């Protein structure tokens, strides 16, 4: 049985978790999750116990008890939903984010030669007209 343990003291080690849970049965493994950047504890960890009933007893006895100055939370670890990688989050087409669309789409993407909304008007002719108007002495574009 896998057990999730949260609200751990930042100084808690995997060995201390093993010692705490071993009073209820055989602990197969334990680990405290560490921040990759800082090397400090994230305040939670996992304990694996061989027997389901021993694990349930440990959860029942240790949940919301004090350990190393903190009120810890112990509960059965639920399997994670399949984690999606960042490249899987892109929409396959049509909307949002600019991924999966043609560059000349009419959804706000600016194509050099087609204008802001992808329809009508050549940007170059727009610039030419603007420059002619400016040369004539009035500026309606700024």
pLDDT tens by residue, 21-49: 999 999 999 999 999 999 999 999 999 99
At residue 80, the pLDDT reads: 75
Q: Which of 139, 109, 135, 112 is nearest to 123 (CA)?
A: 112
* DSSP letter string, the chain: -EEEEES--TT--HHHHHHHHGGGS-EEEEEEEE-TTT--EEEEEEEEES-HHHHHHHHHHHTTEEETTEEEEEEEPPPPPPPPPGGGSS-SSSSSTT-SS-TT-SSS--BTTTBTTSSSS-HHHHHHHHHHHHHHT--S--
- Please tell me the pTM assigned to this model: 0.57
Which residues does the chain have with pLDDT short of 70? 82-131, 133-135, 137-142
Q: How many residues does the chain have?
A: 142
The per-residue pLDDT for 45 is 96
What pLDDT, on the 0 to 100 scale, is given for residue 130? 67
Take residue 27 and report the two structure tokens written for it: 């602990």
What structural domains does the chain harbor?
Answer: 2-76 (3.30.70.330), 106-136 (no CATH)
């Amino acid at each position: 049985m896998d057990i999730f343990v949260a609200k751990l003291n930042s100084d808690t080690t995997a060995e201390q978790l093993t010692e705490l849970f071993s009073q209820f049965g055989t602990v197969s493994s334990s680990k405290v999750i560490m921040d990759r950047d800082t090397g400090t504890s994230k305040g939670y960890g996992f304990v694996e116990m061989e027997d389901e009933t021993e694990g349930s007893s440990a959860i029942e006895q240790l949940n919301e008890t004090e350990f190393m100055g903190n009120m810890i939370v112990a509960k059965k670890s639920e399997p994670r939903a399949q984690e999606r990688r960042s490249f899987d989050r892109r929409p396959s087409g049509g909307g949002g984010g600019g991924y999966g669309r043609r560059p000349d789409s009419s959804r706000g993407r600016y194509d050099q030669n087609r204008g802001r909304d992808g329809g009508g008007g050549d940007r170059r002719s727009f610039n030419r007209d603007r420059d002619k108007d400016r040369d004539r002495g009035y500026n309606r574009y700024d």
